[in-house]
Amino acid sequence: MGLTNAQDDGKATNHMFAVELDTVQSLEFHDINANHVGIDINSLSSVLSNDAGYYHDKNGSFQNLSLISREAMQVWVDYDGVTMQIDVTIAPLATVKPEKPLLSCIYNLSTVLVEPSYIGFSSATGPGNSRHYVLGWSFGMNRPAPVIDVTKLPKLPQLVSKPRSKVLEITLPIASAALVLTVGTVLILLVRRRLRYTELREDWESEFGPHRFAYKDLFHATEGFKDKHLLGAGGFGMVYRGELQKSRVEVAVKKVSHGSKQGMKEFIAEIVSIGRIRHRNLVQLLGYCRRKDELILVYDYMSNGSLDKYLYTEEEDDPTMDWAQRFRIIKGVASGLHYLHERWEKVVVHRDIKTSNVLLDKEMNGRLGDFGLAKLYDHGANPQTTRVVGTTGYLAPELVRTGKATPLADVFAFGTFLLEVTCGQRPIKQDEQGNQFLLVDWVLQHWHGESLLEAVDPRLRGEYNSGEVRLVLQMGLLCAHPSAAARPSMQQVLQYLDGETPLPEMTRADLSFNMQALLQRKGLNVMSCPCSSTMMSSVGTISDLSGGR
């Protein structure tokens, strides 16, 4: 048959599924007789076989068929991908397909047939002289195979000895092989096309229709999620740049693993709700798509990338972001966060504010993005307890203790963000001796030592507005205060930044804390996370997306 050999017969790596019409009893393959039909999976030894024949629809009696009778017959092979049931039915050519199949078994063929898979026919004469004819065939995917019009099929050749044409002997095998190859290629392309664009869609998602993207569109937009379009990767997923073919709109496509169905409906509902938010300092969430164990989020594309790349660039040729740009970005992010907390129809707690989630548009305006961890609740309601998610260095102490995500927990992360942008330092620092400590504690030491401006990013070379820098650093310490009650709201933060309200006077008693020691007492050892710039955003992240929301 050319399908397997003595060395690999029965191995799972064969990835073979076949239905055999056998006229020879081969003892090595445990054949039941010399006239049977069998289901073969990865081996020529059938997993199930039966005498050739069919069941009569009226009385259910079994009608024997002889595979060497020279009578034309029709074979149906059906597979249900949901129930994983394989049915094989055989009957004389002019007979309607019997209701009861000859063979029926349960087997998950998705573990057998891999991409690409080839479909076709194979035959062998064995020790005797025999001929095998395929008069016609049809194929259907996600529907029954089209009914074959038996009146249009060619007749079986007569057993009359005629002079054999040498030309026919040469051309017929070539033409047959070409036909089988062509049909097989077409089928493979159809199967691969379907598998490539398979999505996971449930009935309840119909209400979110306008916000759902077709996986096919996102696949083409990113050229199959090629590495050349990869914008970044972290603990929450991989982000690709893409361009939608119909609208020519550039988008950022984020693939997130989500192996559990628990809470998926609520999660999609929140994603769609967030997609209705419009603000000049928030990255627009355009929609989503689901495929297998992946959740895919689609955002507006920000051409200048994320803020952290400008703060921590190691390339000498890259210009340092000046203070005016940093201060404008700080005010923009504050405005967007204020809108989420207080101005939109619901309270939105972002839960993952950090420099890598602040993206820059064409005009270098800062926009807060990545709402994959955001939580929503009504104004005036109490937030529910959830899993602790976020990035180490930005987690508020009360969030670790209670698990309740509140706007003031976002304010804490925003305070760390202020210090990070102003100092050009990551939330967890490391000195020359390898000792690690929190940025907020380091800035606080400078404040107590009345040397606050020494904490400013040295790459600014002293070219900054000292009043604005002092304001931002002091406000960063106030926002990152371990006591939630001591932190300002984002409304107050905007007033401080715009100069509408003076920053309250802070005494040593107000800022007599050590964040690192406090967090360790709460059971969160932030120093267990690597401090390198490439690992901080991924290893230092605790995500609940893999287990639902």
Tokens found for residue 430? 């490391």
**Tokens 């073979």 belong to which residue?**
16
Dist CA 39 CA 44 (whole Å): 9
End-to-end CA distance of the chain: 53
CA angle 303, 305, 309 (to 5 degrees): 150
Structural Rg of the chain based on CA atoms: 34
Residue 228, CA distances (Å) to 179, 214, 225, 241, 304 in order: 39, 22, 8, 9, 16
Which residue positions form the known binding site?
Answer: 255
- Rounded (to 5) percent helix, strand, coil in the chain: 35, 20, 50
Catalytic site residue from 352, 370, 410, 457: 352
Dist CA 310 CA 304 (whole Å): 10
Which residue positions form the known binding site for ATP?
Answer: 255
Tell me if residue 57 is catalytic.
no
Type of residue numbered 349: V
Can you say how many angstroms the Cα of residue 454 is from the centroid of all Cα atoms in its chain? Answer: 44
Closest listed residue to residue 395, CA positions, set 373, 418, 379, 411: 411
Tokens found for residue 203? 């009935």
Query: Counting Cβ atoms within 10 Å, is residue 58 exposed (0-12), middle (13-18) or buried (19+)?
Result: exposed
φ/ψ of 331, rounded to 5, equals: -65, -35
Any idea which residues carry the catalytic annotation? 352
